[in-house]
Amino acid sequence: MALDRWIALVILAVSLMYGYTAFFMMDAGLPPFMRFNPIWPSTFPKIIAVGAAITSLVILLGFEKKPADADEGEIDFSRLGDYNIGQAVFLLVLMVAYALLLRPAGFLLSTLLFLVVAAALLGERRFYILVPVAAAAAGGVWYLVQQTLGIYLSPLPTFLS
């Protein structure tokens, strides 16, 4: 059996254990007033467990395999220098910078900057479209997290709030 199928088998076993915990053990300790809520604390773990189990079964049963003559998508490690490694490393550095700037710069500014710089790095050059879309995405996510979920995210830099 190939390495990807062994990994899929391990992921299937972990997701089945995680799913058992999410479906049968997490809900037992809920207080009575939460039992009537449409979304429980175990809802997202249940979705993750089912999705991981289905995905690992697809890999384990070989449904994702391409025909033998279609190998264009495989990474050729002997030609690793031909890929855009610099872009990938810069994107990882940008993610770390975003995480570090989240508190001092505020959610809205740091998310807007991350989305604009990442999109520009990946090749987007129409900034008159990119900036409003990134601003709307940052504002929309902030509104959903702040108002709908009730989780406080500082929208402004620390020196302004």
- What is the spatial distance between Cα 89 and Cα 97, in angstroms, rounded to a whole number? 12
Q: What is the per-residue pLDDT across 86-110, written as a single tens digit (0 to 9) for each?
A: 888 999 999 999 999 988 998 999 9
Q: How far is CA 32 from the centre of its chain?
A: 32
Domain boundaries along the sequence of the chain: 3-68, 84-148
Residue 77, Cβ neighbours under 10 Å: how many? 7
Predicted pLDDT of residue 96: 95
Which pTM value belongs to this model? 0.56
Q: What is the per-residue pLDDT across 130-151, written as a single tens digit (0 to 9) for each?
A: 999 999 999 999 999 888 888 8
- What is the spatial distance between Cα 71 and Cα 62, in angstroms, rounded to a whole number? 16
Q: What is the per-residue pLDDT across 24-55, written as a single tens digit (0 to 9) for each?
A: 888 777 777 777 777 887 888 899 999 999 99
Mean pLDDT, the chain, as a whole number?
85
pLDDT beyond 70 at 77 = no
One-letter-per-residue 3-state SS of 74-117: CCCHHHHHHCCHHHHHHHHHHHHHHHHHHHHHCHHHHHHHHHHH
Mean pLDDT of 152-161: 77
Predicted pLDDT of residue 71: 57
Predicted pLDDT of residue 47: 93
Predicted pLDDT of residue 161: 65
Closest CA to 91 of 61, 115, 67: 115
